[in-house]
Amino acid sequence: MKTIQLAVLAIAAMFLMMQPVYIAEQSQTAKSTATPIKHVIFLMMENHSFDNLFGTYPYTDNLSMRVGSRTVNPFLSASQLSSLKPVPSGTYSTADPAEGWIFYHLDWNSGKMDGFSEYSGPASSYYYNASQMAIEWDLAHEFSMGVGYFSSMLTDTVPNRLYSLAGYTPVIDDYGPPPYIPINNSIFGEMNHYGVSWSYYLLNPGDPSLMLPYFQGIQQSWSHVNSWNGFVGNVENNTLPSVSWVEPISGGAHGYSQHPSDSVFVGEQWLLYIVEKVMHSSEWNSTAIIITYDEGGGFYDSVPPPTTAGSQLGFRVPFIVISPYAKENYLSTTIMSHTSLIAFVDYNWGMLPLDKLVAYSNLPLDMFNFNKKYSDGNIVRPPVNLTGVSRFMPPSIEFSQSTPNGSIGAYFPLALQYNSSTLPYAESGNSSINMENATQYFVQAETAITPFYFLPAFLVGVFVAAMAVPVAVFEVRKFMYMKRKNK
């Protein structure tokens, strides 16, 4: 009996040790923002590197220059393009390259960036151009695009999305949960603590979510989980929370996230629907929509990922900021990653940096114009005229998916709002503004929780015990047989 009591006490102690550690402050409400942005909407798509979607931007299908862009050269050089393959005009998807921690590290090859074709396979060599990407290219052209934004880890979806929500990951590949992240170790818990409103929108919150089960305690915040239609209602009713995640994956959604081999065009339509809805609402003048991708998906990218605060970043992915304060046709070379998303929320709403990595992550502030007037005397840009690509906007956020028969490249570029020569800022730039001077972090110790019954030692013990039962039964039967035989 004493042995059992000691075992129970040991398990309880282990459980307590695994509980979240965070700064115990009085709960407070953030009443103001550091910028005019009062609403941030995050749209994180799936599995495309920067060069895979924007490598030939802003050139046309046949790599000729279009009038109206300030970018002179495509991002991929002629020598790089010679070893890659364009996705044929009228085709909007490719096969799925091999994914995962092992494949991506082999693709990366310690920064040589020469293992893609061999390890992630032939599909890794494909790149899209204006023929397929006109809608997304137009959004980048009209607003601001980051060309130095990287996934947070050389691995696949789940760990990278966890970095965007918690600033760290307890898994290195797509497995689990468990382990779980305590909700108080996440941006969700921090916003709850400071009284910053938020919502996480799924197609159907009643269907399984890919990411939310990783957060222990999320059920206590389930009132923040809403539907896509709920998001549309919030936009139309002027009731958007401060921070929104509109998820194109899980919750019963299929085909919207652009994950290979899904159509990139369908994902563009979905993005366009959200952008147009917000742009033509009363929420527009105080909103920033941020589009990015969780990881590169095994597709080739030419830029070796750097490190941030000693953390090796993953492959470069597209990053677009859409806002009435976003600079027009601007390219940011600021080095950022998924933790920069958390950093912007922390900075804008006056919260502590969630953790050290978030504190050292650069903010996308150079992509905004908050104080310089345009030629018409305004600072706040009116809604952009997306006539042309708006013909592809579906009637609802959940729509019957279809793909054009031919190229949509003729719809890029659209006319800009302002003449490039009159813009009150340079066509490109960067910033090193972050919160590294913070003396405290909201989360002091990052924690992964695995219930004892999932721990390897416990599972091995159960396996050994299960294997021992038949042996024990056999020995008992043998003993009883020998006992009867010797009578």
What are the tens digits of pLDDT across the range 296-350?
Answer: 999 999 999 999 999 999 999 999 999 999 999 999 999 999 999 999 999 999 9
* Short-list 328, 321, 373, 329, CA closest to 348: 321
* Short-list 374, 315, 353, CA closest to 433: 353
pLDDT tens sequence across 341-388: 999 999 999 999 999 999 999 999 999 999 999 999 999 999 999 988
For the chain, the helix, strand and coil percentages under 3-state DSSP, each to the nearest 5: 35, 15, 50
pLDDT at 393 over 80: yes
Q: Looking at residue 387, what is its pLDDT?
A: 87
User: Which one is predicted more confidently, 8 or 58?
Assistant: 58
- Residue 327's beta-bridge partner residues? none
Q: Looking at residue 355, what is its pLDDT?
A: 98
Q: Cα separations (Å) of 191 from 2, 322, 413?
A: 45, 23, 39
Report how far residue 220's alpha carbon sits from residue 211's, in angstroms, rounded to the nearest whole number: 16
- Residue 443's beta-bridge partner residues? 22
Report how far residue 68's alpha carbon sits from residue 414's, in angstroms, rounded to the nearest whole number: 8
Asked if residue 413 has a cis previous peptide bond (ω within 30° of 0), the answer is yes
Q: Which residues, at least 6 apart from 5, have a Cβ–Cβ distance to it below 8 Å?
A: none
Q: Sign of dihedral through CA atoms 247, 253, 256, 261? A: positive
**Cβ burial, residue 438 (10 Å; 0-12/13-18/19+):** middle
DSSP state letter for 147: S
Question: Which superfamily, per CATH, for 12-452?
Answer: Alkaline Phosphatase, subunit A (3.40.720.10)
Report how far residue 89's alpha carbon sits from residue 134's, in angstroms, rounded to the nearest whole number: 12
User: Which one is predicted more confidently, 194 or 456?
Assistant: 194
Angle (CA) 399-90-132 rounded to 5° is: 70
Mean pLDDT of the chain: 90
Count CB-CB contacts under 10 A for residue 25.
11
- Among the ranges given (37-41, 68-72, 148-152), the one the predictor scored with the smallest mean pLDDT: 68-72
Q: If pLDDT is split at 50, 70 and 90, which confidence band does 251 have?
A: very high
- pTM reported for the whole predicted model: 0.89
pLDDT at 485 over 80: no
Contact between residue 217 and residue 199 where contact means Cβ atoms under 8 Å apart? no
User: Which one is predicted more confidently, 21 or 218?
Assistant: 218
Helix (H) / strand (E) element for 235: namely helix 228-236
Q: Sign of dihedral through CA atoms 358, 361, 363, 364? A: negative
- Among the ranges given (17-31, 278-292, 355-369, 459-473), the one the predictor scored with the smallest mean pLDDT: 17-31
Classified as helix, coil or strand, 399 is coil
Q: Cα separations (Å) of 154 from 111, 221, 261?
A: 11, 31, 21
Q: Which residues, at least 6 apart from 184, have a Cβ–Cβ distance to it below 8 Å?
A: 20, 22, 190, 193, 217, 443
Q: If pLDDT is split at 50, 70 and 90, which confidence band does 15 have?
A: very low
User: Which one is predicted more confidently, 417 or 4?
Assistant: 417
Q: Looking at residue 74, what is its pLDDT?
A: 83
Q: If pLDDT is split at 50, 70 and 90, which confidence band does 9 have?
A: very low
Contact between residue 367 and residue 180 where contact means Cβ atoms under 8 Å apart? no
Angle (CA) 25-353-192 rounded to 5° is: 50
Q: Looking at residue 62, what is its pLDDT?
A: 66
pLDDT tens sequence across 94-107: 999 999 999 999 99
Q: Sign of dihedral through CA atoms 357, 156, 408, 231? A: negative
pLDDT at 256 over 60: yes
Q: Looking at residue 287, what is its pLDDT?
A: 98
pLDDT at 475 over 80: no
pLDDT tens sequence across 204-217: 999 999 999 999 99
pLDDT tens sequence across 274-295: 999 999 999 999 999 999 999 9
Which token pair is 10? Answer: 């040991």
User: Which one is predicted more confidently, 64 or 445?
Assistant: 445
Percent of the residues in the chain that have a pLDDT greater than 90, as a whole number: 81
Q: If pLDDT is split at 50, 70 and 90, which confidence band does 13 have?
A: very low
Q: Looking at residue 244, what is its pLDDT?
A: 98
Q: Looking at residue 1, what is its pLDDT?
A: 43
pLDDT at 472 over 70: no
Q: If pLDDT is split at 50, 70 and 90, which confidence band does 14 have?
A: very low
Domain ranges across the chain? 12-452, 457-487
What are phi and psi for residue 322, nearest 5 degrees? Answer: -115, 120
Span between the terminal Cα atoms of the chain, in Å:
37
pLDDT tens sequence across 151-206: 999 999 999 999 999 999 999 999 999 999 999 999 999 999 999 999 999 999 99
